[in-house]
Amino acid sequence: MIRRNLRRCLATLLALVTTTACNSTLADSRTFRVEFIKSVHSAPFSGRVYVIFSRRNREPRKGPSWFTPEQFVARDVENWRPGVALEFSSKSSGSLSGDQGLKAGPILGYPGPLSEMKLAGHQAQAVVRFNPHDREIGVGEGNGFSPATKLDDDTSSKLVSLKIDQLVKPRTFSQTKWSRLLEVPSKLLTRFHKRPVSLRAAIILPASYYQQPQRRYPVIFTIPGFGGTHHSGSLTRPIPEQNEGGVEFLRVLLDPSCPLGHHVFADSANNGPVGQALTTELIAALNMKFRTIPHPTARFLTGHSSGGWSSLWLQVTYPEIFGGTWSTAPDPVDFRDFQRINLYASGENMYVDRQGERRPLARVNGRVLLWYKGFADMEWVLGHGGQLHSFEAVFSPREADGTPRLLWDRKTGRVDLETAKTWEKYDIRLVLERNWKKLAPKLKGKLHVFMGDVDTFYLEGATIRLKKSLADLGSDAVVEIHKGRDHSNLLQGGLRQRIRKEMTSAFLAAHPKERRPAAGR
């Protein structure tokens, strides 16, 4: 659920809070007039348009981030043509049209309406979401944006023109001698989405790959957390291996991103059969193009946060395809404790607890830095692709209009029990309990889950419940709660190295003839 620069973001947040407190108390009354030019998008556009403000970023489109959210506004349009102006104004409904075919929805604002925003000293930048298939907004491939404009200290009514005349360039994977791009067109996902869809991964080659052309290698599949992609797998040197068995791994860094967020490689009504596509299409292509040992006992899973949930889900769902998972800080694995919320209990609310106290979403060193409602409000204005709605995209049924069914009322926070009931088939604890007789022999020695007892996103409760459930089932699963560890530091202190060692041992137990002298000996 979080990127590697969590602590840096938190420090910036604290500085931002201090700065914001010193801002003028007068609300702004500027009018923002946005248009796009024909050379960036020649056809009429229907979708969401944004004006994003920032005191920190020279280009506000690169935010807002989770822990440093700033002010922005958005609205949906239909049939918006090049050269036609669209207004964002605190004084009116925001409608301005030189074209009678243009339809514009209400102006949405975060953290509140535009009329209450204090924008003096901010940079302002317009963004239009031309590409609905990228979960990113301001840096999403093919989306349009304007130059940033500095807003002066005069908060009186002024017209600020923002012309969208640039497109975000495609991001290409930087291939090296040791990192190769694997892109696999998926027939399954293309058929589901009715457009070309591919699976992507970075293939990180072991040190001996070129020197020993006859050698085959076991594989580690790594799944990044929310916001992570295969691009971080572009390396200029191989990952060093240090183990007594002389085992080297071919590593596969998967891309779990999708238009609605992070698909967690779970087949779903909204994201399509991504688990099937991985296990049938990508693995087959991997074995064909690279020298893998094409056997389940030489195929391991790991991942952190949403990637931790993904790796555990894949092992449970496809127990005969993978030889074991080492999942760290997974998203909720028991929906009776969905970040402290029991989704199956009558009267539950995502925003407040039973005592009426607002629900926290993230903490560091005991200090709450995010609250559920504020985070949900931000995502609602941003639109599809956010973390919370990403859960609904995976776990919820598909509505008649093609969108995921909402789990909770975005205004009141009330949980819809009917929708929660449909989530049961993705509740890992429940899936294990209901299918244990069949799964037990297939999962023997394969489940390893690690969690900090003060997880940043309150994920430890669900893992503690899973630990008890597996113990009651008589499973040999390893589920550990590490004292004093949170979401960002769980892997410190030797856990990462331990996981590599355990994967090596699991591989050698099934393939003893692959034992070799350790590198450098």
The mean per-residue pLDDT over the stretch 209-215 comes to 96
Whole-number Å distance between alpha carbons of 191 and 188: 5
E strands, 265-392, in order: 299-304, 325-328, 360-364, 367-371
Tokens of 201: 């991964």
Q: What is the pTM of this model?
A: 0.92
Residue-wise pLDDT tens digits, 247-272: 999 999 999 999 999 999 999 999 99
- Measure the N-to-C terminal CA separation of the chain; round to a whole number of Å: 40
Choice among 40-49, 212-221, 235-244, 438-447 with the minimum mean pLDDT: 235-244
Confidence of residue 14 (pLDDT cuts 50, 70, 90): very low
Amino acid 28: pLDDT = 77
Closest CA to 283 of 342, 199, 400: 199
Query: Exposed (0-12), middle (13-18) or buried (19+): which is 494, by Cβ within 10 Å?
Result: exposed
Tokens of 414: 């009330």
At residue 266, φ and ψ (nearest 5 deg) are -110, 130
Amino acid 273: pLDDT = 98
Is 174 in a helix, a strand, or coil? Answer: coil
Q: Rounded to the nearest 10 degrees, what angle do helices 306-317 and 436-443 cross at?
A: 100
Output Rg (C-alpha) for the chain, integer angstroms: 24
- Computed over every residue of the chain, the mean pLDDT equals 92
Distance set, CA 236 to CA 180, 205, 233, 372, 519 (Å):
11, 11, 10, 40, 19
**Opening angle at CA 290, ends 284 and 294, nearest 5:** 50
Residues 6+ apart with CB under 8 A from 192: 272, 273
Q: What is the per-residue DSSP string for 69-114?
A: ---EEEEEEEEEPTT--EEEESSS-----SSTT-EE-PPEEESS-G
Partner residues linked to 110 by β-bridges? 72
Q: What is the per-residue DSSP string for 196-255?
A: --EEEEEEE--TTTTT-TT--B-EEEEE--TT--GGGG--SSPPP---TT----EEEEE-
Number of Cβ atoms within 10 Å of the Cβ of 257: 22
Confidence of residue 101 (pLDDT cuts 50, 70, 90): confident
Is 272 in a helix, a strand, or coil? Answer: strand
The conformational region for residue 193 under phi > 0 = left, psi -120 to 50 = alpha, else beta, is alpha
- 4 pLDDT higher than 60: no
Amino acid 518: pLDDT = 55
Distance set, CA 403 to CA 108, 393, 421, 496 (Å):
19, 8, 18, 38
